[in-house]
Amino acid sequence: MDDLLGFKLREFLFALSYENRWTSKAYDLVPKQITCPEGFGRFLDAVTDMSAACYSGKVESAVYGQFADGENLTAKRELQVKDAETNFEGIESKFSLRTPAEPDEDVCYLVPGQVDSLAQCNFNHTSKTFVVIHGWTVTGMYESWVPKLVDALYKREPDSNVIVVDWLIRAQQHYPVSAAYTKLVGKDVAMFIDWMEEQFNYPLNNVHLLGYSLGAHAAGIAGSLTKKKVNRITGLDPAGPTFEYADALIRLSPDDADFVDVLHTYTRGSPDRSIGIQKPVGHIDIYPNGGGFQPGCNLGEALRLIAEKGFADVDQLVKCSHERSIHLFIDSLLYEEKPSMAYRCNTKEAFEKGLCLSCRKNRCNNLGYKVNRVRTKRNTKMYLKTRAQMPYKVFHYQVKIHFFGKANMTKTNQPFLISLYGTLDESENIAFTLPEVSSNKTFSFLIYTEVDIGDLLMLKLQWEKDTFFSWSDWWTPFTFDIQRVRVKSGETQKKVVFCSRDGTSHLSKGEEAAIFVKCSEQPVNKKRGGAKKASKENSAHESA
């Protein structure tokens, strides 16, 4: 396991280290001298100093680099699906029609060109078809998420067809070579879909492609090559290395289907060092938890699992955030009554301030299977928070507080606790940190609860002590006066104003929590002065 983990990490680092060379526009290639076995072609690697790779079967070109006959895909679309007498012998990908009874077994394959294979596999001509495309692999075997996704799709759509595309042989090469093969996998899938449409008049409006990592780009390429557009492509954290700056023809893009939705769950670091692609590549691009480390995937969780289970699951921790995109989609299939809500926002920083919890004009949407198909001229970036485990849904709140003070006072990185009490439940001691707190200013921030507390009735606010001793705090205690706290629910869109029970609450560091109850009369939103300015600010952050 240690060797496997080390190899996986080296492959990722290798791919990342060559990102700029792979995406360079300089494609002047020098043929490498390599002897391939009889019947094998020679792939000229334009990127690395590795030996050129040999490939089996007849292929025409690759995403990056060049084949020995000199063809290059970067300037033009070379791989169009042929019209009439299509030769299916060149298809190397396999199409396994999984069953609800055995979601983890390849019991029957649909073979392009062989009409009888559909009847033998009990393909349902009148139902939806899901096409699942896996990503890069070290072991050459399916990962554990594949049967889980298949099972969830069948539970949600029992009469559907769930097809798993097997391109494991190509996917277990060095990462750069597997990335190049996505074009060929996409071509295979496109030929298969076109054959289904032409031979059986199967409507492409029933086709939904789901691709993970490299598989997301293979799905996009397939969608770009079919003669008619497929209904939908879902990109599950599309791979970043070699694709962040790539042309739309050779990666997932909004033009590849009638509707393209994308989940980004591992986009840490600079764009050329990110495991998942950072830029939006769909009609709707959702960044759970900002698109960075996902809850439960941090170093602390890794150390806990190692202490409990040893190194057995370390391989899973390496890809925990990357693979979270799949489990979020599975969650949307299994928990239909608990859809996670995402909110349109220009930046994750604005979202963290709670400035984007609006559902006006399609500014909020469901994550996953039941996403509302909103297509705009520009890519739509959306954000949300999630739990660490299924069900992932949380409840978002914007909190706005005006801190009064007689003296000018500013503190940075201040820890607070807030407790919310509602008609259904309560959520106590929600920790948050304000980057800055100043006298006579209003601050907005985002909090979330893991339970539905219903309509809000009361809240408590406490200013925590610093973890270190401060002479200034000891010598001159800090106190803010707070009269009201405004809270907006993202899920219900309801706004509530809370008043201090004493008219004004004195909030001191390290002292008791201040209690606020619903004001007897909820004020009407005003359109002048500061309220108007705040409204404009929120709208600016929400517009994408």
Active site residues: 213, 237, 322
Tokens of 464: 């925590």
Name the DSSP class of 255.
G
Tokens of 529: 């002065």
Helix 145-156 / helix 320-334 crossing angle, nearest 10 deg: 20
Helix 175-200 / helix 214-225 crossing angle, nearest 10 deg: 40
Q: What is the C-alpha separation between 29 and 51, in angstroms, rounded?
A: 14
Q: By three-state DSSP, how is residue 448 classified? A: strand
Annotated binding-site positions for Ca(2+): 251, 256
Q: Give alpha helix (H) positions in 94-202.
A: 116-120, 145-156, 168-171, 175-200
Sign of CA dihedral 330, 334, 337, 338: negative
208 with 230: CB under 8 angstroms?
A: yes
Q: What is the C-alpha separation between 211 and 243, in angstroms, rounded?
A: 15
Q: What is the C-alpha separation between 42 and 36, in angstroms, rounded?
A: 7
Q: What is the C-alpha separation between 537 and 518, in angstroms, rounded?
A: 26
Tokens of 292: 């960075």
Q: Could you tell me where the beta strands, DSSP code E, fall in 375-477?
A: 380-384, 395-403, 410-422, 426-438, 441-449, 456-463
Annotated binding-site positions: 251, 256
Tokens of 16: 């990342």
Tokens of 137: 């692999």
Q: What is the C-alpha separation between 426 and 429, in angstroms, rounded?
A: 10
CA distances from residue 154 to 108, 128, 129, 150 in whole angstroms, order as listed: 16, 11, 11, 6
Neighbours of 389 (CB within 10 A): 11
